[in-house]
Amino acid sequence: MPFVNFLGKAERFPMTHPGSELIDRLYRATLGLKTPAECAAFFEDLCTITEIQNMAQRLRGSGGKSGERMNIDSNSLKYDERAIFALRSLYSRYGYSCYKMSKFEEYDLYVRNKDFLVSDSVITFTDTNGRLMALKPDVTLSIIRHIKDEPGVVQKLFYNENVYRISQKTRTFKEIMQVGLECVGAIDAYCIGEVLTLAAESLRCISPRCVLDVAHLGIIAAIIDDFSFSESVRRAVLKCINEKNVHELSLICAQSGVEENKSAALRQLVSLCDRPAAAMPKLRALLSRSGSARLAEQMDKLERIVVQFKGTDLEDMLRVDFSVANDLNYYNGIVFRGFVEGVPTGVLSGGQYDRLMRKMKHQSGAIGFAIYLDLLERLDHAERTYDVDTVLLYDRRDDPRALRAAAAKLMAGGHSVMAQKEVPEGIKFRQLMRLDGNEAKFIEHA
């Protein structure tokens, strides 16, 4: 059974990297804690309150006592909880620092940037000082608001924070854990490549069967600007590109008087979806027909990023696909979206957002991404065949001490155990047992 030993060597925990210098430093720092106050300060810097409560609950469940090793059975963690541990470790190894923030922001921040949000529905309340506040529906805006420009420096931050937005599944407000990172400052080709690498590695932490779609908004902007569309038509065209709706795109171009050869080139761009080795020559040939120096420049920028993955183990994950187009009022340059098998929509989304930085009075460049952990619930359900290993039946005449001892013996052997007087309706178990005197006797397999 895979365990994580938080005060010693990590043992076969999936999606972590035992033996790294960072993890060794974490162990040494933990061993140096002597008082509850020191522990509180240490863990508050690293974890959310919910994470601390979850760890405490699992420590109690594992029988941990003061001074003993704290072993966490990774099978007791949900899919998204295991992902959080893995992603925090991944980002820390690349020198990203954990960024903590308040749950609240002034509502005005989201009103002024509502097009940047996944949903414009926001939970609001009036603070005691009369200000209209909001439970944050987004993390990036909060970071940008509070960060300061440092010329020549790149600030590398990651977060795992709760956001409050409408769930795609229930269409009601939900508290959603979101993990992501932001790279802010003097952004260059290396920084962009590093963030794309971390996006790809993040997807692989979630599932080995994954794809990262990449595009360059500078190419789309150069083509659309040449057509002199109105703002409303631009939005409609971007929507068609995002949906790969070639038929509707063709109609819009015809109604707007776009020449057929230019319309055909745009349709070919939208239809493109392939690995970089195959897609980049096709894209360059397509864009070179226009003779546009601006398009050639944007194509070179995309190529400088994509070529960084040539010959690496991440190369086959990438797809050049312009359906990942985002709002041109906020985003520029590289944009990307990540998918994993078993989830019908993108679980990761990101890109360069220099235009948003300018809107919020910053001179720095920025690129980042977010992972929507609520979407991983589908993977958790697919992974969990059983709710519990053993249902242990007893009746009111049985000795509670004998029941406790029988359950403890099963748990010591690596089983999860649910003690019940009757089998709960709908429960999935590996085996059914009954307490007989001081022993648990087998009844049936599932």
List the pLDDT tens digit at each of the 446 positions of the chain: 333 333 333 333 343 444 455 566 666 667 766 666 566 666 656 665 556 656 665 555 444 444 444 455 555 566 667 788 889 889 999 999 998 877 888 888 877 777 777 666 788 889 888 889 888 878 888 888 888 888 899 999 999 888 887 766 667 787 788 899 999 999 999 999 999 999 999 999 888 899 999 999 999 999 888 888 888 898 899 999 999 999 999 999 999 999 998 899 999 999 999 999 999 999 999 998 888 899 999 999 999 999 999 999 999 999 999 999 877 778 889 999 999 998 888 999 999 999 889 988 899 999 999 998 888 776 765 555 778 889 999 999 999 999 999 999 998 888 889 999 999 998 889 899 999 999 999 988 76
CATH superfamily of 97-381: Bira Bifunctional Protein; Domain 2 (3.30.930.10)
Predicted pLDDT of residue 64: 47
Cβ atoms of 242 and 323 closer than 8 Å: yes
pTM equals 0.73
Structure tokens, 8: 């010693």
The pLDDT score that the predictor gives to residue 51 is 60
Nearest residue to 153 (alpha-carbon basis) of 196, 200, 97, 90: 97
Beta bridge partners of 442: 433
Every domain of the chain with CATH number 3.30.930.10 lies at 97-381
Buried-exposed string 319-358: b where 16+ CB fall within 10 A, e elsewhere: bbbbbbbbebebbbbbbbbbbbebbeebbbbbbbbbbbbe
- pLDDT reported for residue 193: 96
Per-residue pLDDT, 87: 92
